[in-house]
Amino acid sequence: MPLDRIDIAILDALQKDGRMPNAALAEKIGLSQSACSRRLDNLEKSGIISGYHARLSNVALGHQMTVIVHISLSGQFEKTLSDFEVAVKRCPNVLSCHLMSGEYDYILRIAARDLPDYERIHKEWLSAMPHVTKINSSFALREIVDRTVMGIRPDLL
């Protein structure tokens, strides 16, 4: 779906405030409420807007530690990847998981309360996942950027 400047303005506004009522969004963008609602429906149906959520603070919830985990599997066969992906989706501490090219097969971002909690996650979850042959953990010292808002440049569309 090609985006125009109005669609981009809608996306920009909703990334900053996903709870914005349609009336306020329409006013901000300069559209009628019905036109704004139609555009929003189209953005949702096309998959450009994939959902709405509340952003939670890991630190406020007691997870002081972010761990970046590189995982190697025993192979890259479809079943091997599938088995691992089913298992990793069950671990509640995994915030994100990416299949990678290069030295490691997956990179995970994990939230943990502290070092003993990460040790528990490592033993109970990561080491128990199917086909895992190597786990390399790095501990984040400080978060610099954690964006949920993506800048959309119209000239790149």
Strands (E), the chain: 65-73, 94-99, 106-112, 132-139
This prediction has a pTM of 0.81
Q: What is the CATH number of the domain that holds 80?
A: 3.30.70.920
Domain containing residue 40: 5-54
What's the confidence (pLDDT) of residue 155? 57
In a domain, 134, yes or no: yes
What's the confidence (pLDDT) of residue 147? 78
Bridging pattern class, strands 94-99 and 106-112: antiparallel
Q: Are residues 123 and 96 in the same domain?
A: yes
In a domain, 14, yes or no: yes
Confidence of residue 154 (pLDDT cuts 50, 70, 90): low
Name residue 66's beta-bridge partners: 111
User: What is the distance between the alpha carbons of residues 103 and 76, in angstroms, rounded to a whole number?
Assistant: 12
Q: What is the CATH number of the domain that holds 48?
A: 1.10.10.10
Higher pLDDT, 5 or 130: 130
In a domain, 39, yes or no: yes
Number of independent structural domains in the chain: 2
Distance of CA 18 to the CA centre of its chain: 16
In a domain, 156, yes or no: no
The answer to whether residue 150 scores a pLDDT higher than 70 is: yes
Beta strands across the sheet bearing 132-139:
94-99, 106-112, 65-73, 132-139
